[in-house]
Structures are given as C-alpha cells and as structure tokens.
Structure 1
Amino acid sequence: MVSLWILSVAGSCCSSISLFYFCFVCIQTLPALYERYENEVNNLITTGSRDLKKLYMKLDSKVLGKIPRGPVKEKKFK
C-alpha cells in the first residue's frame, strides 16, 4: 500500500512519460552501481536492518505491548 502511495505522489509531480524514462534509467544504472559498490551497500543494508529491528523492539515493548487484547474466540467448524 505504501509503494502505491509513493507511486501516486511521484506520478502527480511529473508526467507518465518522464516517470517511465526515470524508471528506465534506474533499471539500467542501479545494477552497475550495485556491482561496483556491493560491499558498501551490503554494510548499509545490514546496519539499517539492525537499527529497524531495534526500533521495532522498542516500539513493541513500549506501545504495542500495552494494547489490551480480548480473549481469542475459536471458530466452530461444521
């Protein structure tokens, strides 16, 4: 859902032809850049992933753990 929202915001800022051109340029250049800077990109991704996990654990313990939950009702199958 977030990706569709980002796509709609980007589409409202420019025409569809320029958006297709931008995507084409990214498809052509990003693999070459990743191949050249693979170690740096992998380090950034692992660091970002670790930071996001820490942030989620903090959110889970402080906010999500305090949400009251009702009893779970079992569905009856016929």
Structure 2
Amino acid sequence: MTTIYVHNNNQSQNITCSDGSQGVLRVSKMNNAIQYSFKFYSHAHLGFWLDKHQFYDGKSLIVKGILEDERLEIKFVN
C-alpha cells in the first residue's frame, strides 16, 4: 500500500508518497461541491478523484486500473 501525504487545507498542492513518488492535488468546485483530484508525475500511480465526504485522514482506497489495481491511503500532515 502506498501512502499519499497531503495537507488538510482545501488548497491545491504538491504531494509526496511513501514510495518517493510525487504528484499534485488539485482542489476545485464542481456544481457547488468540492472535488479533490490526484495526479502523479511519470505515471507512478493512477490518477483519481474524491469528493469532500471521501477525503479524510486514514482513507484507504483501491484505484482500479486496466492491468492492475492499486491500494492507496490518504495521510494528513502538518
């Protein structure tokens, strides 16, 4: 399982993962709802998005890919 380290400040930001890979978290509003979109550099991990109810510390998820599924965890940092 790969852990994604993010700041819980509802702002777009650069992110780092437990395996050393990096990416970006973009926070946007879609139809009056906040959406958290995760993208990773060099295709290290599959991109995905969460809504405000799914975005919390300790959130564990499986991102389904064509060739394989990936287990990820969200970890809030200061």
Q: TM-score range by the shorter chain?
A: under 0.3
Question: Based on CA coordinates, which of the two structures has the bigger radius of gyration?
Answer: 1
Instruction: Between the two structures, name the one with larger relative contact order (CA 8 Å, sep ≥ 6).
Output: 2
TM-score (norm 2): 0.16
Greater strand content: 2
